[in-house]
């Protein structure tokens, strides 16, 4: 009976992990730029001497869905997104380079260009971008940042920097535990990527599909709990037979 119980316990644990992953996708359905994680179950044989007669369930996050979300037009000059398979570089809280497809940018009082989380935006040299005092700011389709200086007597735009735009191989991208996208390939170099200003890319989570998956996982969890209860009932009946003997 203990073998049956351990298998049921393993199944319940892995289903609960899958529920947590699906709940995280659902919770970020309204988070701009969020990429949902895939989830799958597989059988894992118990390794050891003799024949592998038992297999436990195992929940895995094999990959992240990097398909684009819908376009949300905002009209704000510092709301930007990349097209096709392009990404822009930001500096994550750990100091490493992360990749995003959309960002609601702002300029801090110190002149640093950051996203809404406060992460510095990197230029083509991989250095955080600093913006001097300005009256107006624009980001062109190639990622060039232009401003009208606050002390200028004209309305001429001046180019001051350029976003680091890359087009990595999707197969070399992974989402870290920090929630940011990282490349596992070689150093990323500037690429010909189109930037759209005045718009944001929404999450690619399908809420209907996520809710349906949540119901399916709840039923799987209930099935594992029922199996554990059945194991307990069988053990009690076995004890009764032993007492009779």
**HSE of 80 in the Cβ direction (CA atoms, 13 Å)?**
29
Share of the chain above pLDDT 70, in %: 96
1 pLDDT exceeds 60?
Answer: no
Rg (CA), the chain: 26
Once rounded to an integer, what is the mean pLDDT over residues 94-106?
A: 93
Please name which of 179, 193, 167, 190 lies closest in space to residue 33, comparing C-alpha atoms. 179
pTM of the predicted structure, to 2 decimals: 0.79
> Cβ contacts of residue 245 below 8 Å, gap of 6+?
none
Strand, coil or helix: 190: coil
Tell me the torsion sign for CA atoms 65, 71, 74, 75. Answer: positive
What is the H or E stretch that residue 18 is in?
A: helix 2-27
- Backbone φ and ψ for 103, nearest 5 degrees, come out as -160, 135
Distance CA 13, CA 6 (A): 10
Under the banding of pLDDT at 50, 70 and 90, the label for residue 202 is: very high
pLDDT (tens digit per residue) in 117-146: 999 999 999 999 999 999 999 999 999 999
Assigned token pair, 216: 């399916």
Looking at per-residue pLDDT, the higher value among 196 and 232 belongs to 196
Assigned token pair, 187: 């150093």
pLDDT (tens digit per residue) in 33-70: 999 998 888 777 777 777 776 777 777 778 899 999 99
């Amino acid at each position: 009976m203990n073998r049956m119980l351990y298998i049921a316990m393993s199944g319940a644990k892995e289903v609960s992990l899958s529920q947590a992953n699906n709940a995280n996708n659902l919770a970020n359905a309204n988070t701009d730029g969020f990429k949902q994680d895939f989830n799958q179950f597989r059988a894992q044989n118990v390794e050891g001497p003799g024949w592998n007669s038992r297999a436990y369930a195992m929940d895995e996050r094999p990959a992240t869905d990097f398909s684009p979300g819908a376009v949300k037009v905002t009209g704000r000059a510092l709301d930007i997104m990349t097209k096709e398979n392009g990404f822009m570089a930001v500096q994550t809280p750990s100091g490493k380079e992360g990749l995003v497809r959309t960002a609601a940018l702002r300029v801090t009082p110190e002149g640093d260009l950051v996203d809404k989380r406060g992460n510095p935006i990197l230029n083509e040299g991989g250095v955080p971008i600093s913006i001097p005092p300005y009256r107006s700011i624009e980001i062109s389709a190639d990622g060039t940042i232009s401003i009208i200086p606050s002390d200028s007597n004209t309305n001429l735009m001046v180019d001051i920097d350029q976003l680091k735009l890359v087009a990595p191989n999707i197969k070399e991208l992974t989402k870290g535990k920090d929630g940011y996208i990282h490349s596992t390939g070689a150093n990323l170099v500037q690429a010909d990527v189109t930037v759209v200003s005045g718009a944001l890319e929404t999450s690619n989570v399908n809420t209907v599909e996520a809710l349906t998956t949540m119901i399916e996982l709840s039923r799987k969890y209930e099935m594992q709990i029922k199996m554990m209860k059945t194991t307990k009932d069988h053990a009690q009946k076995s004890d009764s037979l032993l007492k009779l003997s």
